[in-house]
Amino acid sequence: MNLQTQKRLLGIAALIAVAVIWQIIAEYVVGRSFILPSVTDVAGAFVNLLGSGTLLADTMVSLEHFGIGLIAAFFLGVPIGILMGWFRVADFLLDPIIEILRPIPPLAWIPFAIIWFGLTTQAAGFVIFAGAFFPILTATYSAFRAVPKVFVEAGKVLGCDTSFELIRYVALPAAIPAIASGIRIAMGVGWMCLVAAEMFGVSRYGLGYQLWHNYYLHQMPNVVVYMLILGLAGLIIDRIFRNYVDRQLLRWHAGEVA
């Protein structure tokens, strides 16, 4: 048995053990589904929600919200981080603005998201953008500030005469691992902001909205289903991104070449 198979089997065994303990506690210790739904209650709720189509529809809506916010954060955070990390003048101009805005919690933007966009997909995307933008910007800025001078000098010797060429052929490849880490952090922050934004009424659809709505209806097994789907979806998104980065952008870490 290889290490990978052993890891998977142990992981499955751990999940089964947690499910058994959960069922015993919920059924024989707590005894009230409102306080702690059992595994069988949650499984039944999952089947009902899946059969009604509600679960799939809300998952797609939440992914749409998440995609809008994360893509906007990427296309603004990376270029601004490059400007601030590479050009001193841009750093001096933008740093005070960034440092004032960065400590503001993303959820504090919810009132303006509703005023500016209404209860729309764009409003939810804006809240996610507010949470994901700064981790991407900070990671990009730090990565470009940390590019070794010897890399830059070597690039100049090899024919990179302009800042654009140095950024494209020297600084950006060196910064990609740190930027990728920043994007992973931003994805986690953005996913949490998504749930909170939907729960606080930025959208009338989505996993977060349904979680809060079912709480009001005292449908706690449904609440647990949405919690588990949120965790599973976040895990899948992170794994897909990490595998793409490792196999496509950072193949040289494993000694692979194109």
Domain boundaries, the chain: 45-248
Query: Do 237 and 229 form a contact (C-beta atoms < 8 A)?
Result: no
Quote the DSSP letter at residue 170. I
Residue 218 has pLDDT above 50, yes or no: yes
Cα–Cα distance, 98 to 95 (Å, whole number): 5
Alpha carbon separation from 91 to 13, 82, 99, 159 (Å, rounded)? 51, 10, 11, 26
Using CA atoms, how far residue 89 sits from 45, 83, 97, 178, 254, in Å, is: 57, 9, 14, 23, 37
pLDDT of residue 81: 92
Whole-angstrom distance, CA of residue 233 vs CA of residue 230: 5
CATH of domain 45-248: 1.10.3720.10
pLDDT value at residue 250: 63
pLDDT of residue 77: 93
pTM of the model: 0.82
pLDDT tens-digit readout, 29-50: 777 777 888 888 888 888 888 8
Residue 174: CB atoms within 10 A of its CB come to: 15
